[in-house]
């Protein structure tokens, strides 16, 4: 038995730092279901924290170390650095300290098949689509993903079969601790440049991830992405775009139907409820992963037809002043451009956007790209940068970004943004609140 396996045995006491995070809260539930005594801490109150408490898992607001002393193992989110008070306390007490990904990697040992979905964009949506297919097939999968899937009412599921479906994030190389029998690689773009030195290191990271797949496993990847091609050069790959193709595309107000074709043979018909060509790509990846792992073509068709989206991925929130409000997680220029294309095909009079940049590092590194992507909206409102794990270094701001976008308006706080937008909304508009921080609060304020 490995050291990590011994630490995660039934009856052990595990304390989770950052327990309110999507992956961390799922981990807390999974460990509790395995018979561990689980506690947590988080700097903020959230629905995830409240849910854990309702399940009998105590979560402290703050990082006082209340539960660290009695823990057999401490598990931290990637955002909890060495200067975190509870990390420092665990070190001083000699407590075993694991990364979140270490725990998930160990849990994956218990499954015959582990399908991991990776890439700069589309991971959560593709994982959700694949989950729908697996559920339609009756596979009873376990699931770990970075968003709320309405089908599950959560971002995770504990199943009774040997199949696990997991979103695999590249940040801090956390996915290198996973144990995939199948890997899906959607795309690679420069991101997380507060950790990676540049695109070359990022490409190398994805290659190392793909090489975790055993010889009898399968790698499915986007052959139209040049960086993916570089990362997987020389490896045995089923390519999206050549081995698997989406043929006979038909659009209905931006929502597509098509056939999944594998090496010339039609395998399944697909009709999507979610808009955009990027969702054609996501769904083709999910279909290919399902078929390559023995799930039926009928399950592919039914699963994708029943998929209505993920929380914060083009999620409809309501109508204000005759305008429809959608919330979206897009926080990278390419994702913004894909969401804009999808919204533009939906037949609205104007496409408006509230954008909250996520982290100073990303905003500075991709400043020109953000300006170019946001220029395509009929009107763009820029709220303050969401700092996340960073301190303000100076030299980059939402106000400066707004100045580079024709017609854009810097609006500051969520409250000020909502008031400005409310005065501008007209019947026939679509408004997208976009970003990986708490920009969703603008939508909530507008709807109230």
Q: Which secondary-structure segment (H or E) carries 30?
A: helix 22-33
pLDDT of amino acid 389? 78
Phi (first) and psi of residue 362, to 5 degrees = -65, -40
pLDDT above 90 covers a percentage of the chain that reads 90
pLDDT of amino acid 96? 97
- Residue bearing the bigger pLDDT, 148 or 218: 218
Given a cut of 60, is residue 269 above it in pLDDT?
yes
CATH 3.40.50.2000 fits 3-99, yes or no: no
Q: What is the mean pLDDT of residues 291-307?
A: 98
Q: Per-domain residue ranges for the chain?
A: 3-99, 110-306, 315-447
Among 22-36, 129-143, 178-192, whose mean pLDDT is lowest? 22-36
pLDDT of amino acid 312? 87
C-alpha 119/C-alpha 122 separation (Å) is 7
| Mean of all residue pLDDT scores within the chain | 95
Q: What angle do CA 7, 13, 19 make, to 5 degrees?
A: 100
pLDDT of amino acid 155? 87
The string of pLDDT tens digits covering residues 304-328 is 999 999 988 899 999 999 999 999 9
DSSP, res 176? G
245 CB-near residues (< 8 Å, 6+ apart) = 260, 261, 262, 284
Find the DSSP H helices in 267-413.
277-292, 297-306, 333-344, 360-365, 367-374, 398-403
Given a cut of 70, is residue 211 above it in pLDDT?
yes
Q: What is the mean pLDDT of residues 231-258?
A: 97
Give pTM, 2 decimals. 0.88
pLDDT of amino acid 1? 56
The string of pLDDT tens digits covering residues 395-447 is 999 999 999 999 999 999 999 999 999 999 999 999 999 999 999 999 999 99
Q: Do 315-447 and 3-99 have the same topology in CATH? A: no
* Residues 118, 186 contacting (CB under 8 angstroms): yes
Q: What is the mean pLDDT of residues 6-29?
A: 94
* CATH H-level, domain 110-306: superfamily: Mur-like, catalytic domain (3.40.1190.10)
Q: What is the mean pLDDT of residues 97-116?
A: 95
Report domain 315-447's class.
alpha beta
């Amino acid at each position: 038995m490995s050291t990590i396996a011994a630490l995660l045995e039934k009856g052990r006491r595990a304390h989770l730092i950052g327990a309110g995070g999507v992956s961390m809260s799922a981990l807390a539930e999974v460990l509790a279901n395995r018979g561990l005594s689980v506690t947590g801490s988080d700097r903020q109150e959230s629905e995830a924290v409240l849910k854990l408490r309702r399940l009998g898992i105590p979560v402290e607001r703050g990082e006082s170390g209340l539960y660290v002393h009695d823990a057999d193992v401490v598990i931290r989110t990637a955002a909890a650095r060495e200067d975190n008070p509870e990390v420092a306390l665990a070190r001083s007490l000699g407590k075993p300290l694991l990364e979140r990904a270490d725990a998930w990697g160990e849990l994956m040992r218990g499954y015959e098949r582990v399908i991991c979905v990776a890439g700069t964009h589309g991971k959560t949506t593709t994982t959700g689509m694949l989950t729908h297919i697996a559920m339609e097939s009756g596979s009873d999968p376990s699931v770990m993903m970075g968003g709320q899937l309405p089908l599950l009412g959560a971002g995770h599921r504990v199943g009774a079969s040997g199949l696990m479906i997991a979103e695999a994030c590249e940040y801090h190389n956390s996915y290198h601790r996973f144990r995939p029998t199948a890997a899906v690689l959607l795309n690679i773009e420069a991101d997380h440049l507060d950790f990676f030195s540049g695109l070359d290191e990022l490409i190398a990271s994805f290659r190392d991830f793909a090489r975790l797949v055993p010889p009898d496993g399968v790698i499915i990847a986007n052959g139209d992405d040049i960086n993916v091609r570089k990362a997987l050069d020389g490896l045995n790959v089923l390519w999206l775009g050549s081995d698997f193709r989406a043929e006979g595309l038909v659009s209905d107000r931006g929502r597509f139907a098509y056939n999944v074709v594998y090496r010339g043979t039609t395998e399944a018909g697909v009709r999507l409820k979610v808009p955009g060509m990027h969702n054609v790509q996501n769904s083709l990846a999910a279909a290919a992963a399902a078929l390559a792992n023995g799930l039926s073509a009928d399950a592919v068709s039914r699963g994708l037809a029943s998929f209505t989206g993920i929380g914060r991925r083009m999620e409809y929130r309501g109508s204000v002043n005759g305008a429809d409000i959608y919330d979206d997680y897009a926080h990278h220029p390419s994702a913004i451009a894909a969401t804009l294309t999808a919204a533009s095909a939906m037949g609205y009079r104007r496409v408006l956007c509230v954008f909250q940049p996520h982290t100073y590092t990303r905003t500075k590194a991709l400043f020109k790209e953000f300006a170019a992507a946001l220029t395509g909206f009929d009107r763009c409102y820029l709220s303050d940068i969401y700092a996340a794990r960073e301190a303000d270094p100076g030299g980059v701001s939402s106000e400066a970004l707004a100045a580079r976008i024709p017609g854009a308006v810097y609006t500051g706080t969520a409250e000020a943004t909502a008031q400005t937008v409310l005065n501008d909304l007209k019947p026939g508009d679509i408004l997208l609140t976009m970003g990986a921080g708490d920009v969703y609060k603008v939508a909530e304020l507008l709807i109230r």
